[in-house]
Amino acid sequence: MWRLLLLLLLPWLFHSVVALFEECNHQVTLSTGQKLLINSPYYPGWYPVGTSCRYSVEAPRDQVLQFKCELQLQTLATDLQCRTEAFHFNSEGDEVLTSSEYFCGSGKFERKSFLNRAVISYISHGTAKPPPAVKLKDKLSVPATTTTTTESPQAGSIEQQQQAEEEEEEEDEEENEDLSDEVLHVLHDVGVSDALAYMASLLYDEPESNNDARHTPATIYLRNLPNGTSKTSAKRAKIVSSYPPAFALGGGRFSCLVEAIVPTCNCGWSRLPRIASPTNEEAALHEFPSMAGVLTKRQGKVFCGAAIIHHHYLLSAAHCFLGAETGSASLLRVVVGEHDLSSAYETFFTRRYDVESLILHEQFSQTNGQLRNDIALLRTRLPIAWSRYVGPACLPLQPTTGGKKLPLAGQQVIAAGWGTTSYGGPQTHRLLKTTLDVINSQRCRETLSSSGTGVPPHSFCTYTPGRDTCQYDSGGALYERINGRLMAVGIVSFGHACATNQPSVNTRVASFIKWIRAKSPEVAYCPTRA
C-alpha cells in the first residue's frame, strides 16, 4: 500500500520541489580566490515565513567551494525533523537536493563542495496561523504548524519546566525518527531523491511499527550543547537549539561566506564495494567512476575498455586499435558513466565523447602471441565532466616503500568490463567485476613457457581459479583500492582463452608513468601514495 501510495505522490512531489524556487533561484559563478557573502532575503532581518530560495554556486573547473555559514532559524527544539524551517546544503551541486544535508535551529557550520559546484537553499513551511489539520486516508495529513501562546507559563520551578521540555523533546524525537525513516526507506527503495523523501515525510502524521531489519536512524543531529560537545553526521546534520515559544511561527536568517579555492588534487573516488563474490559478479551502479567503454561510431558496440585519468585522457591497450575499423581516432567514441549497455534509464550520468587523437606506444609489438608495451592513450575532443559517478582513477606515480612497482605478488586487483562471460560466449550488457590474484613473474614464466609464450617486460600476471578477464575486456584497468581510492595499476592485455589453468598477462602502468607524462605534458597527475 505504501509503495502504491508514494508512487502516486511522486509527480506531485517533483513538481512541488521545482515550484518551491520559482520566485527565488540564483546562479552564482566565482573566479579563483573570489569570496562572496550570500545572505538570506532581508538580512539582517528575518526572511519571510513560507518562502524559499535556492543558490547554485559554481567555481572554476578542478576547484572547490568552501562554505562558512551561520544560521539563525526560528525552529522549535522539538522540531527535530526540520519540518517548519530547513536549510539545505548539497555538496555535489544537485539542484533537486539529492543527498543534501538538512539543518535547522541556530549555530555555525563549515563545508566544502565535492567538486566545483554546490547548492544551498532554505525552505520555510511556517505559517502565521496554523491551519486546521485535515486527515486523509491511510494516515496522511497536511502538516500542522505548532501553536504558540504568549500567556505566562504554568507555575513550577525552572528545573521542573526544563525536565518536562526534555521529556517532551525525547518523545517527539523518537516518534519523528520512526515516521520519517519509514517514509524515507520506502521512497529510497523506489528511487526517490532525499528532497522528495523529505517533502513526503512532511505529509506523514502517525507512525506505525517498523519491523524492517534494515531500519537505521535517518538523521544524526549536530546540536549546540551547553558544554560545547557535538555529534556529527556523514549524511544529514542539523543544528538544533531551544527557543522561547514566541518564535514558533518560523522564519529566520542565514549568512554564508563562500570562497573558490584550489584543493589538493582528487582522484580514485568510488562507491564502497559490496561483499566480494567468489565468482564474477555485477558491479554496483557507479562503483567504478573511471570505467569507460571504447566503441566505434559506426557499430556503437563496446569492443575494449579504458580508464579515465584526466578530463581529456583515458588509458587503454594498444592492441585494441589495430583493425581497420578501430585504428583511427575519427572512428572512435568513448562512453562514461555507463552500467547497463542495453538500458538508457538506470543512470543519468552516461555520456559519450568523440576521440580526438589516438596515441599508441611507439614500441608496441605483437609477436608469437606476446604483446610488448601494450598501452595507449585516448584523447577526447571535449573535456569529460566530473561528477560523483564519473572521475579519474589514480595512477601509481610513486614506488612502494621497498622501491618496487605496483602491483606486488600476493596482492589482489579488481578488473571490470563488458566482456564475454566465457571464451567465445555472449558479451555482457551489464558491467561485471572480478577479483584476481597477482602471482610472481617466475611462476608465470614457468606456466606460460609450456605454451611457447613468455612474459614481456613491464607486465605482471594474474591467476585465480575460475575467475578471469575475457574477450572485449582488453584495455580496461586493473585496480587496487588504496586508502579508499581506486588506483589503476594494470591494463588488461592478453591471455589464453578465459579462466583456464593459464595466467593472464597485464601491462604494468607504473612502468609507463614517464611515457604517460610525456604524451600529456599539460596534465599534473595526483601524487597519491600507496
Positions marked active-site? 319, 374, 474
CA pair distance 448, 459, nearest whole angstrom: 14
Q: Are strands 504-508 and 485-494 parallel, antiparallel or unpaired?
A: antiparallel
Element (DSSP H or E) covering residue 186: helix 158-189
Cell of 136: 486523509
What sign results for the dihedral spanned by CA atoms 62, 33, 517, 329?
positive
Report the alpha-carbon distance of residue 244 to residue 250 in Å, rounded: 12
Q: Are 84 and 97 in contact (CB under 8 A)?
A: no
| Cα dist from 347 to 112, 118, 336, 342, 344, whole Å | 25, 21, 11, 12, 7
Strand residues in 159-210 grouped as ranges (E)? none
Cis peptide before 407 (omega within 30 of 0): yes
* SS3 state of residue 360: strand
Residue written as grid cell 579508499: 484
Asked, as a colleague might, if the bond just before 465 is cis with ω within 30 of 0, I would say no
Cell of 365: 609489438
Asked whether 54 and 254 are in contact (CB, 8 A), the reply is no
Contacts from 346-351 at CB under 8 Å and sequence distance 24+? 346/285, 347/285, 347/286, 347/389, 349/286, 349/387, 349/389, 349/390, 351/384, 351/385, 351/390
Grid coordinates given for 22? 520559482
CA–CA gap between residue 479 and residue 461 (Å, rounded): 14
- Classify strands 35-39 and 252-261 as parallel, antiparallel or unpaired: antiparallel
